């Protein structure tokens, strides 16, 4: 396979995968492009390469910076900004977990805590089922949260090592 074909396949696949995880296709594609670029790229280059508009490029670059996955850089002698991605995929994964935890897990736990306070009596079947589900859900989310928080403090191999030992 030629380089350009492989590159396009990669960017396209990353975009598709992104969509199925709630990340916009363009954002995933900008990320993919920066992941495989040895040098940092300007907004101009990203637009041209992915054939997207200036506004789209700008917005997705900003979002990636917000997610802590992309950084900007000043190149001496150049006025415009250049962007590069964190290349260490384990760091990338940890960063994504960290952000989603903050954006999604925390609010959900707050909500579940609130929902447990619903009015009702033990004898009401619907009330009981509701409390049971919410309580069980909170317990699992809580434990997953704990596990993830610990996992992202480990290095790439340690987590696997731990789980491996458990099954040896």
Nearer to a second copy, 40 or 47 (CB): 40
Sign of CA dihedral 4, 91, 140, 106: negative
Footprint on residues 36-95 left by DNA (CB under 7 A): 42-44, 51-56, 58-62, 78-81
| Structural contact between residues 15 and 29, judged by C-beta atoms closer than 8 angstroms | yes
For residue 157, give Cα distances in angstroms to 85, 143, 162, 164, 165: 22, 21, 9, 10, 12
For residue 124, give Cα distances in angstroms to 1, 91, 115, 131, 133: 64, 48, 16, 11, 14
Q: Per CB under 8 A, does 82 bind a second copy? A: no
For the sheet containing 41-42, what is the strand order? 41-42, 81-85, 70-74
Q: From residue 49 to residue 78, what is the string marking binding to a second copy with x (rule CB under 8 A)?
A: ------------------------------
Residues that bind a second copy (CB under 8 A): 1-3, 5-7, 9-10, 13, 17, 19-22, 35-39, 87-90, 93, 104, 108, 111, 114-115, 117-120, 124-130, 132-134, 136-137, 139-140, 143-144, 146-147, 150-151, 153-154, 156-160, 162-164, 166-167
Residues that bind DNA (CB under 7 A): 19, 24-27, 42-44, 51-56, 58-62, 78-81
């Amino acid at each position: 396979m030629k380089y350009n074909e492989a590159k396009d396949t990669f960017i396209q696949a990353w975009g598709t995968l992104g969509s199925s995880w709630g990340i916009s296709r363009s954002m995933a594609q900008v990320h993919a492009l920066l992941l495989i670029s040895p040098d940092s790229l300007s907004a101009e280059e990203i637009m041209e390469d992915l054939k997207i508009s200036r506004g789209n490029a700008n917005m997705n670059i900003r979002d990636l910076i917000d997610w802590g996955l992309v950084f900007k850089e000043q190149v001496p002698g150049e006025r415009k900004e250049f962007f590069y991605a964190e290349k260490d995929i384990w760091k990338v994964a940890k960063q994504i977990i960290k952000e989603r935890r903050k954006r999604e897990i925390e609010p959900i736990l707050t909500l579940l805590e609130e929902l447990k306070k619903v009015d009702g009596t033990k004898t009401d079947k619907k009330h009981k089922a509701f409390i049971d589900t919410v309580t069980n859900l909170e317990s699992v989310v809580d434990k997953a949260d704990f596990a993830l928080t610990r996992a992202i403090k480990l290095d790439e191999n340690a987590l696997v090592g731990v789980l491996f030992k458990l099954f040896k």
